[in-house]
Amino acid sequence: MSRQKLTPLTLGYDNGKNQQKSDSLLSFLKQDIGFTKSQLEKTLKSRPSLLLSSLDNIIKPKIKIFQDSGFSSNDIAHIISKEPGILHTSAHNRVIPALSLLKGLLGSNAEVAKALRKSGWLLVADLEKSMMPNIEFLKSCGISMEQITILLNYLPRFLLYKPEIMRKCVEKVNQMGVDTNSKMYIYAVGVVGSMTNGNWDIKLQAFRNILEFSEDDILRVLKQTPQVFAVSENKMKKVKQVLLATGKYKASCIVKCPKSLMYSIEKRFKPRFQVLEILESRHLITKWPRLGTICRMSDDKFFDQFVGPYSCEVGDLYRHRLVK
């Protein structure tokens, strides 16, 4: 890191003794652990007081906990730079118990590292007090640990909600007829729990007004693909606009393939629609694939079916749009 970038971060620490301490810390994180320049800057911007922390008494012992748990240097740098408060969190009261609890839930240190790369803040929370009561409640509802671990990876903050909020979310999903044995049940609970009652009602109204979903459609989608309810109202409007602009798809196509709302407009829909328009204009295809087919096709499969055979007409165009 340049002295210019360090200066505002180390204001008030810049005497000889403290400078030596901060230099030792930076050297350790960069050379021994493998922090990148951007990770160091992110860490110190969030927690500049780390520069005054004892390397031998505070920083190294915390890092060793991760190393002893089998975390790679890359994992450690990623987790700490996203949640540097871990280094100032009690090892015995928080970090070690949290790692142990997460390993018990997820089954391996590799899975724990994967979860913490997304949600390092789990190590500064009292999981025994805030998470375990909710997990025990979900288990009492007949939800398997396999499903609960999905929620831990998909929407971990939901598991730290107050128990009464968790119960209300489960009750709401049950009232809407989602089967607790369904693999989608936990996603339905998670998406309902991610919104207040008012926002949930607004979201359902958007599905009715913008996408023309009936009540039966809403219930069917909640049971089959609940993740789509996390899509913003703005994204709904844009997807509908792009589909209708082709003249090939109607709003009812979204009702039949709600997962279409989850795909990228710029990276999936627009380049593929442009290819199909060219092929149709040159009489190389007579009809477009169904919306579900367009969405599910991998780039390789779409290329093989619609680009490769007509590379002179659309090959360069499609490759350019994919890169873009």
SS3 67: helix
**What is the rounded (10 degree) CA torsion for 99, 101, 103, 105?**
-150
pLDDT of residue 21: 79
pLDDT of residue 315: 60
Q: pLDDT in tens for each of the 324 residues of the chain?
A: 554 555 444 545 455 567 787 889 999 999 999 999 999 999 999 999 888 889 999 999 999 999 999 999 999 999 999 999 999 999 999 999 999 999 999 999 999 999 999 999 999 999 999 999 999 999 999 999 999 999 898 889 999 999 999 999 999 999 999 998 899 999 999 999 999 999 999 999 999 999 999 999 999 999 999 999 999 999 999 999 999 999 999 999 999 999 999 999 999 999 999 999 999 999 999 999 999 999 999 988 998 898 888 877 776 665 555 443
DSSP 184-222: THHHHHHHHHTS-HHHHHHHHHHHHHTT---HHHHHHHH
pLDDT of residue 164: 92
In angstroms, rounded to a whole number, what is the distance separating the alpha carbons of residues 293 and 183? 23
The verdict on pTM exceeding 0.85 is no
Answer yes or no: are the C-beta atoms of 120 and 91 closer than 8 Å. Answer: no
DSSP 292-314: HHHHH--HHHHIIIIIGGGIIII
Residue 252, number of CB atoms within 10 A of its CB: 13
CA 82, 87, 89 angle in degrees (round to 5)? 110
Q: Spell out the domains of the chain, with CATH numbers in brackets.
A: 1-125 (1.25.70.10), 263-324 (no CATH)
Helix, strand, coil: what percent of the chain each, to 5? 75, 0, 25
pLDDT of residue 322: 47
Alpha carbon 271 to chain centroid distance?
Answer: 25
